[in-house]
Structure 1
Amino acid sequence: MRWDIDWIEKRAQLTPFKSAIIDGDTQKRWSYREINQRAHSLACFFMEQGIKKGDRVALLSPNDISYFDFIFACLKIGAIFVPLNWRLSVHELNQIIEDCTPKLLGYHSRFNDLMNEELASIQVDHQDYEAIFINQELAYAINVDETHPWTIIYTGGTTGKSKGVVLTHANIQWNALNTIVSWNLSADDVTLTYLPMFHTGGLNALTIPILVMGGTVLFSRDFDAENAIHLIEKESCTILLMVPTMYHLISQTTAFEKATFQSVKTFLSGGAPCPLTIYEAFSKKGIAFKEGYGLTEAGPNNFYIDPNEAKKRNGSIGKPMMFNKVKILKTDGSSANVNEVGELLLDGNHVFDHYWNNKEATRQTIIDGWLHTGDLAKFDEEGYFYIVGRKKEMIITGGENVYPLEVEQCIQNHPAVFEVAVVGLAHPKWGEAVTAFISVLPGQSLTLEEIQQFCLSKLGKYKVPKYFNIMRELPKTHVGKIDKKYLQTEYQSIVS
């Protein structure tokens, strides 16, 4: 073991009384000492339940103090934390649970209807849960090193089945260190986390790095643009990450017109390409605004750009951070030159270890030590990088990844459907709108309401197409394939 992985205990020793976590909805506050003690108590409880090193512990909850309890308790005893995406359907959640086989599931009462009754569970917003943190003093000594898995975060897959991204202690800590050094984070930084903490953006982009540095994390459960502005100014937030949809809603409020954001050093946008109108809205107020780039399998932080440079280079994600490597490969396997487009590859200690129970997917993604992102990028004469497209047909809607094939497979299972194509159409609020084009079998009928309800029963709500178009026949290319480019071009107006 090269270092003590229990850094939350070290942070509690260094700055015991500093505010670590604030619940923006209830105004409840926890110091580093209190956060560490809660983690210790929950770790004792886990062990009493028979949870051992390497066992999975899952959590199904909106943003809540229980995320910090669970992840740091797992840190202490070598268990593996699995945050679950509550936007998924029961069917999809059960697939994940069958894959990672957690020994215990924590759940919030908001999601009682998604619960798997066969699992050992505890309700995290119940008095029995809070009772765990009273007089738990069990001693333990678990040998956990930086190569051991700490979390499994499930992400979408082109096969229609989620893949579990295994992040080790080293992966998460190196992302934190890289972010601190490259973005100049300090103990004075305060962030507001609205992104769901089952998502790497909510958990690893700023939350963990700021806690490592000794700053303060403010979280809230349900995004409201007016309240977001209120919390930012009330708690003197300094750096924030939100998705373009959130920024779009914020920029439309009267509160935005009046706000000064004097404490904020930088607003960061991630999860989807950011419309230039949002850049312009923040620029008019003289507020620092920039984009980032990441993915669950790497960080998610990989680039840095100074906000002043971001103003001159709209759409640039910046330059590689201090402790990672980046290259772009063209289709012929050669390295791209200036302004040549190719697939973006990443390398560094922050890159994920493997996909849980999926050696083949791991082999296809990490090749010769490099993570193949599937995203298309280029760089300019001064080394600034730009994402220009996606090698795969992934749709990003409201910051969430949606894979067309998964949605197509779902729709194709309806007995009245003959053919289906799912594409993303540019949308002013969501970034992209999931849109389905369907042809019906001869002699069959299908209503828009019927196919929408069918999808809602099988898919997470954010994956269900926002627009359905039932056509007599889908357009084809000269080789007989469904012409998705034609659909995207000819039908863009339906979402404008």
Structure 2
Amino acid sequence: MPKGVVFKYAATNVKPISLLGRLLVDESDIAYTCYPLFHANALFLTVTPSLHAGSKLVVDEKFSASRFWDQTRRYGVTTFNGLGAVMPILMKQPPKANDRDNPVRFILSAGCPANIWREFEQRFDLKIYEGYGAVDGGAVLLMNLGTAPVGSMGKPVGAKVRVVDAQGNDVADGEQGEMIAYIGNRKDTVEYHENKEATSDKVRDGWLHTGDLVYHDAKGYMYFVGRNTESMRVGGENVSALEVENAMCKHPDILECAAYAVPSELAEDEIMVTFTALEGKEIGIAGIPAFLADHLAKFAVPRYYRLVPELPKTETHRIIKKELEKQGLTEDTFDAKKERVSS
């Protein structure tokens, strides 16, 4: 079961997000969300700024890629929050002559892939602002309001942040590590309901461990890599699931996917990816490894592939990887290693 977060208003990002919202949103704006309000994304990044600005808010029942832009035109939407999984799906929709004919001014994004960032802005005639925050993150906030390179979350806002390796040592520019933030003795900023072990593990020696893998460039701009729980170990190398997923989604006929670890004969991991195809497209799975070889290091190219009609998801459109991991290797799983040996 997911851990329950004890939410304390005084120790969250709500106040800084609200102040930031006042800089971006005014009374004339109309915000839109298709995510459930029990999730922090909709509640804090859409509803809260709208309330502070006194602007209008549209709450839709669910996400629909085919009618998304029609909804923005219908309600005159000027801003919405784009989760990382949603934006590539919107980009995969067939181009239309009226793609740029929409009222949206900007998107507050959480995880927009760098390879589609500029193309998305140009196709739909809007601006993307990227940010980072977490309900259980102890008021850690990063923002890129066009003030940082494409693909970056920006720099920390009012927080002391480090990127460290498994031993707690600071990593060099460009190297992956876990992002941790200093909260000192303010341990009550992070609390899991009736779970003291998880709470104490979250904060160690005054540093909050976010569980997020990132890297920074020479100027201190942060870039998201993935969750440390979704990192895979292959041939002595660490592989980010997000890196594999971004490469898979570059395939013109793949709609979305999930990469995850399955057991290996070598006591490490093998990478498996389950994916869906764009409507009306037929994909030759045997050709995918060769496609990925142009986008990933050799050790990061998955061994196993599975094409499914749809992926299991939460109400916030997040793929439920635990369900896929439980299913493991199924009869319809394609094994690229066996294919190479037989050929």
**Do they fold alike, i.e. is TM over 0.5?**
yes
* Partner residue, 2:45: 205
2:79 is equivalent to residue 239 of structure 1:
yes
1:365-408 deviation line (CA, Å, top 9, x unaligned)? 0123332012222222222111234322269xxxxxxxxxxxxx
TM value normalised by structure 2: 0.63
Equivalent position of 1:378 in the other structure = 215
Match of 2:152?
316
Residue of structure 2 equivalent to 1:359: 196
- Is 1:330 aligned with 2:165? yes
Q: Flag the 1:281–1:187 CA change in 2: closer, same or farther, 3 A.
A: closer
1:47-78 C-alpha deviation (Å, 9 max, x unpaired): xxxxxxxxxxxxxxxxxxxxxxxxxxxxxxxx
AA matched with 1:245: A
Matched, 1:178 2:16: yes
Q: Determine the C-alpha separation between the residues in 2 that align with 1:366 and 1:488.
A: 41
Contact 1:267 1:290 in 2 (8 A): yes
CA distance in 1, matches of 2:90, 2:71: 13
- 1:435 and 1:363 mapped to 2: Cα distance? 27
Structure 2 unaligned spans of 5+: 233-240, 250-254, 266-307, 313-317
In structure 2, the CA distance between the partners of 1:360 and 1:170, relative to structure 1 (3 Å rule), is same
Q: How far off its partner does 1:438 sit?
A: 9.6
Q: Which residue of structure 1 lines up, in the alignment, with residue 61 of structure 2?
A: 221
3-state SS of the aligned residue for 2:324? Answer: coil
What residue in structure 2 maps to residue 169 of structure 1?
Answer: 9
Please, what is the CA RMSD of the aligned residues? 3.9
1:350/1:383 Cα in 2 relative to 1: closer, same or farther (>3 Å)? farther
Aligned to 2:115: 276
Which of residues 210, 228, 244 is equivalent to 1:391?
A: 228
**Deviations 1:266-315, CA, capped at 9 Å, x for gaps:** 22332x562623542333454312433233312787211123x56xx332
**Which residue identity lines up with residue 392 of structure 1 in the other structure?**
T
CA distance in structure 1 between the aligned counterparts of 2:107 and 2:85, rounded to whole angstroms: 14
1:229, 1:490 → 2: CA distance? Answer: 42
- Which residue in the other structure is 2:258 paired with? 432
In the TM superposition, what is the alpha-carbon distance from 1:364 to its structure 2 partner?
Answer: 0.4
How far is the alpha carbon of 1:164 from its aligned partner? Answer: 0.6
Task: Indicate how the Cα distance of structure 1 residues 489 and 366 shifts in structure 2: closer, same or farther if over 3 A, else same.
Answer: farther
Contact residue 30 and residue 77 of structure 2 kept, 8 A: yes
Which structure 2 residues correspond to residues 347-496 of structure 1 after superposition, within 5 A?
A: 347=182, 352-393=189-230, 426=245, 427-428=248-249, 429-430=255-256, 432-433=258-259, 462=320, 463-465=322-324, 468-470=328-330
Aligned mates of 2:182, 2:143 — CA distance in 1: 16
Q: Distance in 2 between matches of 1:435 and 1:280?
A: 31
The alignment partner of 1:315 has SS state of coil
Rounded Cα–Cα distance in structure 2 between residues aligned with 1:244 and 1:388: 12
- Whichever residue aligns with residue 145 of structure 2, its letter is D
SS at match of 2:87: helix
Q: Which amino acid aligns with 1:361?
A: A
Unaligned runs of 5+ in 1: 1-160, 396-422, 440-451, 472-486
3-state SS of 2:132 partner: coil
In structure 1, distance between residues paired with 2:337 and 2:105:
42
Q: How many Å apart are 1:256 and its aligned residue? A: 5.4
Alpha-carbon distance, 1:219 to partner: 0.8
- What secondary structure does 1:317 align onto? coil
Cα separation, 1, equivalents of 2:191 and 2:177: 24
1:283 alignment partner AA:
Q
Change (3 A) 1:438 1:216: farther
| Count of equivalent residues | 265
Aligned equivalent of 1:346, options 163, 177, 181: 181
How far does residue 436 in structure 1 lie from its aligned partner after superposition? 5.3
**Partner Cα separation in structure 1 for residue 176 and residue 259 of structure 2:** 25
- Percent of aligned pairs sharing the same letter: 25
TM-score between the two structures when normalised by the length of structure 1: 0.45
Q: Which amino acid aligns with 1:297?
A: D
Match of 2:18, SS state, is: helix
> Aligned with 2:329: secondary structure?
strand
Matched letter for residue 291 of structure 1: E
Paired residues of 2:35 and 2:62 also in contact (CA < 8 A): no
SS of aligned partner of 1:392: helix
**1:73-152 matched pairs, under 5 angstroms:** none
User: Rg: which structure is higher?
Assistant: 1
Matched position secondary structure for 1:192? strand
Match for 2:106 among 266, 270, 278?
266
Q: Deviations over 1:63-111 (max 9, x none)?
A: xxxxxxxxxxxxxxxxxxxxxxxxxxxxxxxxxxxxxxxxxxxxxxxxx
Query: 1:490, CA displacement in angstroms?
Result: 6.0
- Does the 8 A contact of 2:65 with 2:89 survive in 1? yes
